[in-house]
Amino acid sequence: MRRPAFNCSQTNVGEGGMNRREWLAMAGALGLSPAFVSAVQAAEGDAKAARDAYLYALPLIEMATTRARLLKNPGAAINALAHTRTLSDHKARWVTTPNNDTLYSSAFLDLTKGPVTLTIPSLGQRYYSVAVMDMFTNNNVVLSTRTVGGEGGTFTLVGPGQASSGPNPTRIATPHAWLLIRTLTDGGEDLVAAHKAQDGFSLKGPAGAPVAAYAARDAKPVDYFATARALLASNPAPPTDLRILKRTAAFLGAGPFDEAAAATGVQQARMITLLAQGRQTFINGWSSPRANLGDYGQDYVYRAIVALQGLGALPVAEAMYMKAAGDDGSGTFAGEGLYRLTLPAQLPLDGFWSLSMYEATADGQFFFTDNPIHRYTIGDRTKGLQRNADGSLDIWIGRSDPGGDKTANWLPAPAAGPFALYLRAYLPKAEMLDGRFRFPAIVKV
């Protein structure tokens, strides 16, 4: 029997904000049967379980969707590196919030038939990072300028339950994973050298098995949860997740589940991800990533939000992703008029920084926006910027060219619609990591 799709949670029942105890008291006063009340409570519990199951599985769904998208490219294969030879621009839609500082190289891994060997070339002073993420989007290892150095090396990526043989064995938590390389380039003439750096990376291992087709995040609940169960079967969750898996077993386990409750719960989960921007904490107009970015533990909601808005994010020790508050604290700007960000001459970091402009999509993702000067970011390596006498930098943000001396430092906004601004700081120093350093606010002028 389909249970009634009521919501009697403490904060959502009734027009007047009636809490759970008051609702139950009213039900008794109205003579509603205990069976009816129990059915309402059960429906509420099922919807909550569906909501939690959707959020728990979202990172796996996004990883599988990205894998399928990338494997459609000519020559792409499991356990094989594919290189992007140009910096991301407004046409790049393969992953949300891409950067415009590094060339991407990536490979989806299948470790079920044995380890994969990764060789990192000697890159000297050129920044690079190799992040290996399990299917839950945790960074199991980051091999980079910071952690390995410019001389490179050879590393053996080992799946669960396999013998740790080979040079520098590194354990990966799930049999399938995503290896994502970032190689810094200034673009232009430097691209030739950057391509040579990319070509120095090598990946050797057994051929991977064909990948099944999976449903995406906007699929019907029955298809979404079927995909989630299949992905969990091939990528078992860690023991620390047993509690939530038990609570959501109807949706992520053997089932069965009530479709009406599933629809309600999925709708609630999607609203959580869409409204996440409005629940961030902004200090001086910027939000900082949580310390557990890229290694989420049991922070399933945050993990889901990052999977949707910033899939593949590095841990904070490698890069800080600062998001501007926007006009009203929602994390997006309406875009009317002109804005200014003034940055000091030096930021507390050992790497590089860039401010990126993104257009916001209806489903909560962010991509570069087309503009007349083909500029998607401004950073410490941007050519032609005009600095102030003290070395500080005024960045002018708006839909239209501000004209005059401001044009050199103009970051174009979308011609229409809301936009978001992210500031990336690679290899941040302690005062940035612990919050002692605060970025200046973006002001409307």
Based on the fold, state whether residues 313 and 357 are members of the same structural domain.
yes
Based on the fold, state whether residues 296 and 432 are members of the same structural domain.
yes
Asked whether residue 9 is assigned to any structural domain, the reply reads: no
Asked whether residue 64 is assigned to any structural domain, the reply reads: no
Given a contact cutoff of 8 angstroms between Cβ atoms, the answer to whether 293 and 313 are in contact is yes
Q: Domain end: 204, 227, 247, which one?
A: 204
Given a contact cutoff of 8 angstroms between Cβ atoms, the answer to whether 333 and 339 are in contact is yes
pLDDT recorded at residue 277: 55
Based on the fold, state whether residues 146 and 264 are members of the same structural domain.
no
Based on the fold, state whether residues 250 and 315 are members of the same structural domain.
no
- Reported as type and span, the H/E element at residue 198 is helix 191-199
Given a contact cutoff of 8 angstroms between Cβ atoms, the answer to whether 261 and 39 are in contact is no
| Residue 377 backbone phi and psi in degrees, to 5 | -145, 160
What does each of the 445 residues of the chain score in pLDDT, given as a tens digit?
333 333 333 333 333 344 556 645 655 666 655 544 344 444 578 999 999 999 999 999 999 999 999 999 998 999 999 999 999 999 998 888 999 999 999 999 999 999 999 999 999 999 999 999 999 999 999 999 999 999 999 999 999 999 888 999 999 999 999 999 999 999 999 999 999 999 999 999 999 888 888 999 999 999 999 999 999 999 999 999 999 999 999 999 987 899 999 999 999 999 998 887 545 678 999 999 999 999 999 999 999 999 999 999 999 999 999 999 999 888 899 988 999 999 999 999 999 999 999 999 888 889 999 999 999 999 999 999 999 999 999 999 999 999 999 999 999 999 999 999 999 999 999 999 999 999 999 999 9
User: Whole-model pTM?
Assistant: 0.88
Asked whether residue 357 is assigned to any structural domain, the reply reads: yes
Q: Domain end: 204, 225, 244, which one?
A: 204
Instruction: Give, as one character, the DSSP assignment of residue 332.
Output: B
Q: Domain end: 204, 225, 255, which one?
A: 204
Asked whether residue 158 is assigned to any structural domain, the reply reads: yes
Based on the fold, state whether residues 302 and 385 are members of the same structural domain.
yes
The total of other beta-carbon atoms located within 10 Å of residue 213's CB is 7
pLDDT recorded at residue 30: 62
Based on the fold, state whether residues 308 and 359 are members of the same structural domain.
yes
CATH number at residue 379: 2.60.120.600
Based on the fold, state whether residues 263 and 286 are members of the same structural domain.
no
Based on the fold, state whether residues 200 and 222 are members of the same structural domain.
no
The CA distance from 401 to 410, in Å, is 7
- The answer for residues whose C-beta is within 8 angstroms of residue 192's C-beta and 6 or more apart is none
pLDDT recorded at residue 32: 56
The CA distance from 261 to 4, in Å, is 8
Based on the fold, state whether residues 434 and 289 are members of the same structural domain.
yes
Based on the fold, state whether residues 265 and 340 are members of the same structural domain.
no
Based on the fold, state whether residues 37 and 88 are members of the same structural domain.
no
What residues make up the domain containing 51?
Answer: 20-58+217-269
pLDDT recorded at residue 29: 64
Based on the fold, state whether residues 317 and 372 are members of the same structural domain.
yes
Asked whether residue 211 is assigned to any structural domain, the reply reads: no
- The answer for residues whose C-beta is within 8 angstroms of residue 127's C-beta and 6 or more apart is 102, 144, 145, 182, 183, 184, 351, 352, 426, 427
Asked whether residue 433 is assigned to any structural domain, the reply reads: yes
CATH number at residue 192: 2.60.40.1610
Nearest to 226 by CA among 341, 64, 118: 64
Count of structural domains within the chain = 3
